[in-house]
Structure formats: structure tokens, C-alpha cells
Structure 1
Amino acid sequence: MHSIPVIKPSDIGNRGLWIAFIVLGCWGGSLWFLLHYPLHFNDPLVYLFVLVQMHLYTGVFITAHDAIHGVVSPRYKSLNYWIGFISASLFAFNNFKTLSSKHHLHHKHAATPDDPDYHDGHPHFFLWFIAFAKEYISIGQIVLMAITYNILKLWFPWENLVVFWMIPAVLSTFQLFYFGTYLPHRGEHHNPPLNARSQSLNHLKAFLSCYFFGYHLEHHAYPYLPWWQLPKAREKVEQAMQG
């Protein structure tokens, strides 16, 4: 295997903050609009809106993920933490500290028995997903989601809550797992200690599939890069592979 090129961390400045605010703002604004949207299942826009909201949910989690790596706001660590905490909480009440601890273990022990995200490289998607879900979903989260649902339905139609709040969150979980864990880490690896692979070089596909998180080799090689800098890293790695 070709060596991975060295990519120095760049000065993110306040761009990470602005991008995080845009993602969270789009998610919140879209959800507010959709909770008021007249829901009719013969309306094709409903299904498009579900996919859009799924993608925005994924962006919320990716924001929490970047905060785990300290790259939402490298200059202001307290602000970085709180954006990560809020983003993780908005994504089905995930515990930011727990996510952070397990994700750093994932990077340290990628695709090994000590990796909390790994399921022995099991080729069966759903068996691996069940093991993954058991690792990250708690009874407390389910209780908080149920309480929130029963409070929100006092103001919003329950059908809208299910279709535009709950279903996109579930679909986003599958999206994140498939593109961010299953595809990059399944099977045998020949690049320890990274033990990760990337999807093919196609920035549009990579963004739509999972905010460039499918460029997973690059993420493990350069965890100090925010999601929006992974395309450049992927290009440099591709050039090195062909050189």
C-alpha cells in the first residue's frame, strides 16, 4: 500500500462555527416548517421532505462528531463542547461524553475487538447494526424521546411528529451506520492501524451519502480535519495512491 501523504492542520478560524450554525439552523428551520406542513401521503413532496430531513439529521450528528474531535471551534473549547453537547442531544438525546469516549476508542482500536463500533467484521449488515445499536442506544434515551414526543404532540399533529421527526432520525441512524461504519470497516484490512477504507472519489455522492464521512480512510488518517475539509484530503490521498 502507498504511504499516506502528510496533511498539516489548517487554521479553521470561525468557519467551523458558521458551518455548524448553518447545519443546525437548517435542521431546526426545516423541522419547524414540516411540523406545520399539511400531511397527505399522496403528496410526493412528503417523501422528498423525509429524505431532506434525514440528511439534515445526519448533519446534526456529524456536527457532534466534529465537536468530539475539537474541530467545530478549536479556539474556544467550551463553545466547541456545548455545540457538541447540543448536537448530540438533538440527535435522540445522545450523551455527548459517552459518544466522545467511545469514538476515541474507535479511532484507537479501529476494526479490532477493542473497538466499540466493531462487530468482528461480521458481513451481515443487520446483525452488526443490532450490536452497534446496543452499544449506543440506552433506555434513558428511549424514555426521553417518549416524554418529548408526548409533550410535542400537545402542539403539533402526531402524524407530523412521526413522519418528519422520528422516521428521519431512524433513517439517519441507518445512513450513518452504513456509510460511516459498515462500508469503511467491514472485512479484512491491509492498512493498520487505520483499518479503514474510503468510497470512490466523487464529492457530490460523498456529500449526499454522509457529509463526506464515506471518505473514512482520510478521516482516520487526519482526525483533525473537519468534515468539510475531507474532500481535499481525499484528492491528495488519491493522487498519492496513483503516484
Structure 2
Amino acid sequence: MAIARKNDYRGVLIAAVILASWIGLLVYLLTAYTVDFASPLTYLLVLLQTHLYTGLFITAHDAMHGVAAPGRPKLNKAIGTVTAFMFAYNWYPRLLPLHHQHHRHVATEHDPDYHHGSFWPWYLSFLRQYITWWQLLLMAITFNVLKLYFPTENVVLFWMLPAILATFQLFYFGTFQPHRGEHPADNPHKSGTQDKNHVWAFASCYFFGYHYEHHDKPYLPWWQLYKTKVKV
């Protein structure tokens, strides 16, 4: 296992870039961008903000494994708490034990991420496991406050819709695709993996399509995960 280095601030810097990019783009899209439904740029910006939303959660996920700020547990927890909260008010202390339960009992009845079924029942099971009523309440309050100050279409397109799309992105590439179906007995992590294509692996879900590799080496941050990819 890799040894966490207390003086390694690369994870902190990368987390700061993702968080600052998400905030900066959101502020621009709410305050300065005029929505044009006939322009491809509008939809590209929705996708970019979705990708940054996903990056918030991936950063919180790295914190769950202690690698957002290795060797600095308080800073690591702070990064995880902030980035999870910015993603639709997820509560890091609640997510942390559930995620480690997933790693301990992957693809079994004790795995909170797993559901034996097709895409939509599994996705709904996933949402019920992780979304709480108070998150929905806070999202509703925030939406109604934001639309007092910014155009409603901007709030829907660039604050609300990307959060919803990011849950699909995280679920499909990080849960459903790698864990569905039967896995051979010599697969101890009961996880599949994407074909080797680092550009697509990053664009699809910050290399978490390389999911067997993540379960095999959970101590690696997302931005080093591609290095473990050997098979095509």
C-alpha cells in the first residue's frame, strides 16, 4: 500500500481547482450568461457544469479514503465535508460509513450501493439510500431563493439540472456499469472496468470507470487511478 505523505498537497490543490471552477462557472452562468436554447454552447455549458458537479463528489469520495489531503485528517475531512455539501447538500459524516460498507461488502445484500435488478430500479434504490428529505427541503429553499435574484431558466439549467445529471453520471459509471451482472470467482472485488482509454475514462467519470482498479487500490486518488490501468 502507498504511504500517505503529509507534505503532499497535490490532492488539496486539485480539490481547490475543482471547487473554484464549479463556483466560478456557476456564478458566471447565473449572473452573466444569457440562455439561448438555439445555441450549442448552452448545452455544452450544462455538460461542463455537470462534470464539475461530479468532480465535487469524486473529491468528497477521495476524502472518504483519506487521500484528498493525505496525512492531514482534519483538512481531509474539511475538504470532504465542503465538497459533499456543495453537491446537493450531501452530508459527509453520513456518506462516509456507507461508502466503506460498500467496499467491505461489495455487490452483496449488505452493500448499500448494490441492487439486484435493472437500471431504473437500481437507480431509484440508489437515490433512496443516499438522498434525505432535508436535502430535498434545502434544495427547494435554495431554488426559490436563487430565482429571486437570477433568471429562472439559468437556475434550472446550470444549478439544478447539472446536479441531477451528475447523479446519473456517478451512478452509471461508478456503480451500475462496474457492478452489474455476475463476476467470476477470481474477481475478489466483484467489479468490472472500462476499456483502457484515459480521455474517455476522465470525461465519463474522473477515471472511476476503471472501477476494479479503484477497489483494488482504494488508497490512490482519482487523478492517479489511470496509472493502474494495464489491461485494454
Do Structure 1 and Structure 2 share a fold, with TM-score over 0.5? yes
> Structure 1 residue 164 and structure 2 residue 126: aligned?
no
Counterparts in 2 of 1:39-50, with a 5 A limit?
Answer: 39-50=35-46
SS at match of 1:40: coil
> Structure 1 residue 92 and structure 2 residue 88: aligned?
yes
> Structure 1 residue 209 and structure 2 residue 204: aligned?
yes
1:44 Cα shift? Answer: 1.6
In 2, the alpha carbon distance for the partners of 1:109 and 1:213 equals: 19
SS at match of 1:73: coil
> Structure 1 residue 220 and structure 2 residue 203: aligned?
no
Higher relative contact order (CA 8 A, sep 6+): 1
In 2, the alpha carbon distance for the partners of 1:211 and 1:42 equals: 30
Residue 230 of structure 1 aligns with which residue? 225
Q: Percent identity?
A: 54
- Aligned residue identity for 2:183: H
Counterparts in 2 of 1:24-39, with a 5 A limit?
Answer: 24-36=19-31, 37-39=33-35
In 1, the alpha carbon distance for the partners of 2:25 and 2:79 equals: 19
Residue 142 of structure 2 aligns with which residue? 148
Gaps of at least 5 residues in structure 1 are: 1-6
Residue 66 of structure 1 aligns with which residue? 62
Residue 110 of structure 2 aligns with which residue? 114
In 2, the alpha carbon distance for the partners of 1:148 and 1:77 equals: 31
In 2, the alpha carbon distance for the partners of 1:150 and 1:69 equals: 35
1:10 Cα shift? Answer: 6.2
Equivalent pair of 2:57/2:83 in contact (CA under 8 Å) = yes
Residue 4 of structure 1 aligns with which residue? none
1:192 Cα shift? Answer: 4.6
Equivalent pair of 2:4/2:67 in contact (CA under 8 Å) = no
* Root-mean-square deviation over aligned CA pairs: 1.4
In 2, the alpha carbon distance for the partners of 1:8 and 1:148 equals: 41
Gaps of at least 5 residues in structure 2 are: none
Q: 1:149–1:136: structure 2 CA closer, same or farther, 3 Å change rule?
A: same
Comparing 156-165 and 7-16, the one that deviates more: 7-16
In 2, the alpha carbon distance for the partners of 1:8 and 1:85 equals: 24
For this pair of structures, how many residues does the alignment match? 229
Superposed structure 1 runs of 4+ greater than 6 Å apart: none
